[in-house]
Amino acid sequence: MNLFQKLLLAPAALGLLAPVAVDANRPAYASDLNMAGVSQYGSSADQVTSITQFSDVQPTDWAYQALSNLIERYGCVAGYPNGTYRGSRAMTRFEAAALLNACLDRITEVTDELKRLMKEFEKELAVLKGRVDGLEAKVAELEATQFSTTTKLNGLATFVLGANTFGGSASRRVDESKRNFGATTFNYDVQLNFDTSFTGKDLLRTTLRSGNFDGTNNSFGGGEPSGLSQLEVAFQEDAGPNVVGIDRLFYQFPLGDFTFTLGGRVGQEDMLAIWPSVYPAETVLDVLTLGGAPGAYNKNLGAGAGVWWQKNGFAISANYVAANGSNGNPSEGGIATDGAGGTGTVQIGYTAEQWGLVATYSYIQNANELFVYATNFAFDSFQNPGDTSAFGLSAYWQPAESGWIPSISAGWGINSTNYNSTVNDQGLVSTSQSWSVGLQWEDAFMQGNALGMAVGQAPFATSLKGGNTPNDSNYVWEWWYKVQVTDNIAVTPALFYLSRPLGGDTPDGKGFNQLGGLIKTSFSF
């Protein structure tokens, strides 16, 4: 009989006392004790392993299930040598006492064996007890100090140390840029995301953000001489540097194959089912993160709502954002007004495991600084009241495994702009285009690191009102290498080059370019 059977023999033996039939008015005699039967039971106690071994027990018997459980779970029920159980046979009290005594003897044997095992593994049991006590203490501490049972906090802090230099034959513009924007700077950006879920599938996101990338006197923040040098992490509240503000506040929930989003401060990109690029793993210039179509992917931020449908790789998204949605003056703000600063976006796309293809259309209300990235020449036109229809076509492919073959992300955008009747549009931009190609190598030179480069043209004018063709060409380059120091710390040295950021505003016959270098350190928590 194995150890497990011995441990369970006692309750089984006690259970056998329940059906004992005794005549309380008749005295007991020694002759009533059927020791042969008890002996037969004890000697065959480990021989029955299935209730089907009893020829006289049927599934229709009222105790069939109980008897089956005793046999299968405890292995302590025995019958007679002839294969019968004789469940209807009565036992005398003497017979029950003899059987119980035999069971208790076996329990004593098991108890001695357990004591020996406990003594042998005394040290191991003490270690386990200590670990359990330690875990209970940690759980109690977590429960006492947890921020919220429904909210998770994750954050990203970024330091940027860098500088810009300017060159070209437009000496007066070069000297002016060096004088105003040539210093080495140290800037930061910090984002705190509070993600709350009430059902496990919905999301209430609140993002606090602060930074000191001044957009007027820092080229990394989008200041002069061109906004094309603005970094993706560049941020500063309108109230000034080092001011904490709410950057995101929206609620998102699924309903079947649809996902709905509504927020008082939500971005266009928060309401798209597909982002059209796998580039970059570590951002540098913001203009090269927008799938080659900064007009279609304008990242408008304000009051908005959107919905997307996604199934079997296909996805369709639609959203509306009003940058000035909190302003009650219809000429300066509101929802779906002339002053709303609104964008409406529709996206359709398909994604597979290694590739994706996306087409996007955005309607943009001009004169609201929604068309952020373009040559200086094109940007000036977009500040006039009117509207722009922006189209984007983007695709990406990535290898199944990291190695020397990079992922490729490419995109192209074309924009058609019209102006209000109050604007003299002669010489203003009518059509503009943009494109970009990004390459990225995962696990480059070392596991966890990444190498990337991209080239493209920010939106530049290809035709003007009045039929003229401008010379507004430009090229944007960036190179970077991300070093993953730890799971939460990454250091990224990077270079970027703007060949002709002023576009058509470059002095005739002259050249002007910008070269930037930086070291970006990111802390995720």
Residue boundaries of the structural domains of the chain: 3-125, 147-524
> How far apart (Å, rounded) are the C-alpha atoms in residues 298 and 316?
18
> How far apart (Å, rounded) are the C-alpha atoms in residues 378 and 381?
5
| Cis peptide leading into residue 507 (ω within 30°) | no
Residue among 416, 372, 382 at smallest CA distance from 267: 372
Residue 99's pLDDT is what?
60
- The DSSP annotation for 285-332 comes to BGGGGSTT-TTTT---EEEEEEEEEEETTEEEEEEEEETTTT---TTT
Cα 115 to chain centroid, rounded = 52
Q: What is the pTM of this model?
A: 0.74
| CA dihedral of 292, 378, 421, 326, whole degrees rounded to 10 | 60
Per-residue pLDDT of the chain (525 residues; tens, 9 = 90+): 443 344 344 444 444 444 444 444 455 444 444 555 545 544 444 457 788 888 888 888 888 888 787 677 656 677 778 888 888 887 777 766 766 676 666 667 667 778 888 888 888 888 998 999 999 998 888 877 776 778 999 999 999 999 999 999 999 999 999 999 999 999 999 999 999 999 999 999 999 999 999 988 999 999 889 999 999 999 999 999 999 999 999 999 999 999 999 999 999 999 999 999 999 989 999 999 999 999 999 999 999 999 999 999 999 999 999 999 999 999 899 999 999 999 999 999 999 999 999 999 999 999 878 888 999 999 999 999 999 999 999 999 999 998 899 999 999 999 999 999 999 999 999 999 999 999 999 999 999 999 999 999 999 999 999 887 889 999 999 999 999 999 999 999 999 999 999 999 999 899 999 999 999 999 999
Q: What is the DSSP code (8-state) at residue 91?
A: -
The helix (run of H) or strand (run of E) holding residue 521 is strand 513-524
Sign of the torsion formed by the C-alpha atoms of 74, 80, 86 and 89: negative
Do residues 384 and 419 make contact, with C-beta atoms less than 8 angstroms apart? Answer: yes
Residue 393's pLDDT is what?
99
Do residues 293 and 422 make contact, with C-beta atoms less than 8 angstroms apart? Answer: no
Residue 483's pLDDT is what?
98
Burial 266-277 (b: 16+ CB within 10 A, else e): bbbbbbbbbbbb
Helices (H) and strands (E) in the chain, counts: 7, 16
> How far apart (Å, rounded) are the C-alpha atoms in residues 232 and 496?
13
User: CATH fold of 147-524, please?
Assistant: Porin (2.40.160)
